[in-house]
Amino acid sequence: MAHPQALASAPDWAAFATACGACTRCGLSTARQQVVISRGHHQARLMLIGEAPGATEDAMGEPFVGRSGQVLDQLLAEAGLDRSRDVYLGNVVKCRPPDNRKPRAAELAACRPWLDQQIAWVDPPLIGLLGATALAGVMGVKSGLTQLRGQWLAGEGPVLGGRLLIPLFHPSYLLRNPSLAEGKPKWLTREDLRGAAARLRQLPASL
């Protein structure tokens, strides 16, 4: 792995799925249909992190397979990114919060070790944070998504150190703001993803 850290054991995704699937670290475990772990490629160099599974994800067991996932897939394709090959998708919380409420601080904290393990094993040089909850949950930045959106931030600490993170609008916000006119949120997000795609092309092959 490119980043030295305590979590740098050899990936064992099957064991990870089994352990995650049995998780009862927080109350969200009582109402879930299933734990929603990831979608995409385990060796992708761009990881995208959202908030939490919705009803469709809870039923199907994969992140971003509902309506907001369709928006995301469309923008990824328009940015020249293959959703199966170029990205690894996850969420800051792996179980659906009741009525799609925002995950609570204790739930984010309970789920964080799973996410850290995913980041360590996928080892992405680039991470996109989809929405304010992901920005707060991953970087501890509790406000300013609109100002920070589109800026590459240097990660710190054993898991994020050496990586670049970019806050992005959440796809569900783009569902409510569907205009692709220049300067609008959806247009900006497509530009952000195009920028990420350009960075991926510039990375040395070893990263």
**Contact positions toward ligand URA, by CB under 6 A?**
50-54, 57, 63-64, 66, 68, 91, 172
If the CB atoms of residues 3 and 132 are measured against ligand URA, the closer one turns out to be: 132
Shortest separation between residue 46's beta carbon and ligand URA, angstroms? 16
Shortest separation between residue 53's beta carbon and ligand URA, angstroms? 5
Q: List CB contacts of 52: < 8 A, sequence separation 6 or more.
A: 91, 92, 93, 94, 95, 96, 97, 100, 102, 103, 133
Shortest separation between residue 40's beta carbon and ligand URA, angstroms? 12
If the CB atoms of residues 97 and 124 are measured against ligand URA, the closer one turns out to be: 97
Amino acid (one-letter) located at 176: R
CA diameter of the chain: 46
Shortest separation between residue 203's beta carbon and ligand URA, angstroms? 26
Task: Report the residue closest to ligand URA, judged by CB.
Answer: 50
Shortest separation between residue 140's beta carbon and ligand URA, angstroms? 18
The Cα–Cα gap between 3 and 13 comes to 19
Shortest separation between residue 66's beta carbon and ligand URA, angstroms? 6
If the CB atoms of residues 3 and 58 are measured against ligand URA, the closer one turns out to be: 58
If the CB atoms of residues 46 and 52 are measured against ligand URA, the closer one turns out to be: 52
